[in-house]
Amino acid sequence: MESEIFDVVIVGSGIAGSVLAKTLTQAGKRVLLLEAGLQAGAELRPEEAFATYQHYVETFHDKAIPATNGPYPDIPEAPSPNVLQIQAATPYYTGYLVQKGPLPFASDCLRAPGGTTLHWLGNVPRMLPNDFKMKTLYGQGVDWPISYEDLVPYYELAEREIGVAGDVAAQRGPDMGRDDYGADYVFPMLEIPPSYQDQVWKLRSQNLTVMLDGEPYVVDCVSMPQGRNSIPNPRYRPGAIVWDKQIGRFVIDHETPTYPVTGSLWSPYTGERCEGNASCVPICPVQAKYNALKTLKKADQRRLTIVTQAVASKLLIDRQTGEVTGIEYKRYRSLEDPTYETHTATGRLYVLAGSALENPKLLLASDAANSSDQVGRNLMDHMVMLAWGLFPEKVYPYRGPGCTTYIPTFRDGAFRKDFAAWISPLDNWGWSWPTGAPGSDVSTAVGTLGLFGKALRDYIADRVTRQALLHFECEQLPEPDNRITIDPQYIDVLGNPRPVIHYDASPYMRKSFAAAKKVATQIFAANGIEDFTEYKPSDADYVTWEGNGYTFEGAGHIVGTHRMGNDPKTSVVKPSQQCWDHPNLYLVGCGNMPTLGTSNPTLTMTALTFMAAESILKQLEGVRQ
Amino acid sequence: MTNRLSVFIDISSYLTGFGAVDLHGTGMGPTYLATVEKATSAETLSFFFETAAQILRTGAGDESAINAMIAADLFPVSCFGGLAQNIILMWYTGQWPPAVAASPSLAQARNISPDAYVQGLVWTAADTHPPGAKQPGYGSWASPPLGTR
């Protein structure tokens, strides 16, 4: 590898790295992709891909509590956070993340070929136009250096790449409507059918007026756009994404007659439709759910070199010019054998496409890109407050994708001056998240209530089928002290640093938990739902506000540790996503997002990655920017 | 079928609320019996099966009589080391013993086997299917489950 010069060296094969590998190779560039995970996971030929993936599915079936990363290899040489290791008492140093507190950071991601898209849920709502102007409109956080309008064409590319199923007309809400998508725009595939329980929720929740701080809010329930296969929309104008060198933009070439649904890696006839496995997190057994390996497989393989088990450990930098001269990586032998060799990858341009935990870690370890002192700062996540109860009638949860309908009502409003906005997905999987149901219901029925036989079966049939879960994904703002640092005391088996995390919930967040709880109570009451929500002081992320306690969970939406901006003093990358400090280094991924909004971040991050791909191609081709 | 497997299935039917045919249909009977035999002392096992067989014989198909005897002589945790309750949890969740309690960490808790998870009766009892298996097909979630409509 040392002797070869590539146009671009990319670190990480998640969705950002895979989109770059595909678009850059298809535009004729030679790409080296370094991936920390195991070689088996990067096998894209049908037989090997099938064997690896079946192993993941079998591991999922084998683990009593698979959580999010359970199906995938736990690699000592490239560790991932594990949500099952989160503890209430900080600081603690066990696990991959070094949790300095005061609160533990409760989200994870996956270091494997395909990245966290292997276990993501696949919800892909766009951000709202106002999300990009938080400072101007609400005096909170920062404004983005780009607007919603700037991002629209790239959202369309991202929706094409992921293969979004959804109903554009249903994307209503404060600050969102048909005009924000364009009059004729449709998603590639028709909406995933809403669950039976969504329909029950809607009967008594649609247009319900709830009161908050004396203000009325009308609840709306709308269809969730999703990255999983449904029926191609005949009105969608399909086509390949191609690089138009003349105008320096990606365009969709409308030659293909119908939208080509992308099935599994091993067969185009598997995963053509969502089959209702109800296990999107942690794994879709048929790959009807999008994952980044589908994109990686579409790269021009003649121009793509993938090196796996290759953990980037240091950027080599010419301190005179600021140019990156190579990326040092440690190539380990196997899961069991951490023996490694150190290599250097070289190219004209370099891109870090790791998560918002890994990118800043590598930058800090390399003393790179940090003249602003912003690397690792502004760590954000959706702080997820859950509310659960029992419907008066059976709604038959534990079926279908995790979420098919959401409440957009509190995604935007004047209240954002005072407390965080949130999106409320209606959950299709009962109480599995908060209580470990339905296994916990069986334990209670047998061990506590003394039920067996038909009485036990009737209890489960009555109780589990009525479980309702509503959740509130509250938008965390950028704060400099919520951050990742590194410390030579804390290293992994390859000697690479582990992320050291400082994390807390501000009053702005705590106030939103109190507000969301008031809304939950009113929605539950209108639906006749008996409230079983319980926040315990022993919960890992238990916080109080005005004398009341609330528990939040991590959303897995790890964002903001190397943000983009217009000012090199306060941001790490330019709007082009090139580092201010290094002319041949780009950062992509959720770390670039200056604020989080209330959307699941993958769609927006993917749109930004297409934008970055254009900047990279223009730089390679000598186009002035 | 061995006599012991026959008693195991029949008593499991009364313990779980599922018919013997349902239990046979999971294909897990021999595996679960072997799991119980491996985890329990020969002496306890022998007392348990003697009691179970006697309950079945005495009850002679009278469900309420059998349930009363199970409640008194088989189900309590004081009987046979709580074996009956663990057998119920095994059929419902595919774990032995309840994995979370028995494992050093949540991440290490295992089901008896991948098949045991897939065949867990809790999913059938709840009118659904195990997540990640026995998938009911595109759009099925938009209506109440088959058999409940």
Cβ of A235 under 8 Å from any chain B Cβ? no
Q: Give A120's DSSP letter.
A: -
As a whole number, mean pLDDT of residues A491-518 equals 98
The partner residue sitting opposite B142, judged by closest CB among A193, A278, A447, is A193
Cβ of B26 under 8 Å from any chain A Cβ? no
As a whole number, mean pLDDT of residues A562-577 equals 98
As a whole number, mean pLDDT of residues B89-111 equals 81
Cβ of A146 under 8 Å from any chain B Cβ? no
Distance from CA of B111 to the nearest CA of A (A): 5
pLDDT at A242: 86
Q: Across all residues in chain A, what is the average pLDDT?
A: 96
CB contact under 8 A, A450 and B127: no
Cβ of B87 under 8 Å from any chain A Cβ? no
Q: How many beta-carbon pairs below 8 A join chains A and B?
A: 173
Domain ranges across chain B: 4-148
Query: Which pLDDT band, with edges at 50, 70 and 90, does B86 fall under?
Result: very high
As a whole number, mean pLDDT of residues A575-594 equals 98
Residue range A369-412, pLDDT digits in tens: 999 999 999 999 999 999 999 999 999 999 999 999 999 999 99
Instruction: Give chain B positions within 8 Å (CB) of A200.
Output: none
CB contact under 8 A, A84 and B89: no
Percentage of chain A lying above the pLDDT 70 cut:
99
The partner residue sitting opposite B132, judged by closest CB among A64, A283, A401, is A283
Residue of B nearest to A67 (CA): B107
As a whole number, mean pLDDT of residues A205-209 equals 98
Instruction: Give chain A positions within 8 Å (CB) of B70.
Output: 452-453
Helix, strand and coil percent figures for chain B, each rounded to 5: 65, 0, 35
Tokens 């995604």 correspond to A411
Query: Which pLDDT band, with edges at 50, 70 and 90, does A432 fall under?
Result: very high
Percentage of chain A lying above the pLDDT 90 cut:
93
pLDDT at A624: 67
| Dihedral angle of Cα A576, A582, A586, A589, to the nearest 10 degrees | -90
Q: Does the structure show a pLDDT above 90 at B105?
A: no
Cα distances from A373 to residues A19, A336, A363, A365, in angstroms, run: 29, 37, 11, 14
Query: Which pLDDT band, with edges at 50, 70 and 90, does A72 fall under?
Result: very high
Q: Does the structure show a pLDDT above 60 at A489?
A: yes
Query: Which pLDDT band, with edges at 50, 70 and 90, does B89 fall under?
Result: very high
The partner residue sitting opposite B142, judged by closest CB among A194, A397, A443, is A194
Instruction: Give chain A positions within 8 Å (CB) of B127.
Output: 394, 396, 461, 465
Q: Does the structure show a pLDDT above 60 at A509?
A: yes
Residue range A230-254, pLDDT digits in tens: 999 988 987 778 898 888 899 877 7
The partner residue sitting opposite A442, judged by closest CB among B92, B107, B132, is B92
DSSP states of A608-623: HHHHHHHHHHHHHTT-
Q: Does the structure show a pLDDT above 50 at A1?
A: no
Pick among A96, A396, A433 to test the B interface (most B CBs inside 10 A): A396
Helices (H) and strands (E) in chain A, counts: 13, 23
Query: Which pLDDT band, with edges at 50, 70 and 90, does B94 fall under?
Result: very high
CB contact under 8 A, B122 and A460: yes
- How many whole angstroms separate alpha carbon A15 and alpha carbon A160? 13
pLDDT at B100: 59
Cα distances from A190 to residues A178, A224, A236, in angstroms, run: 16, 11, 9
pLDDT at B102: 61
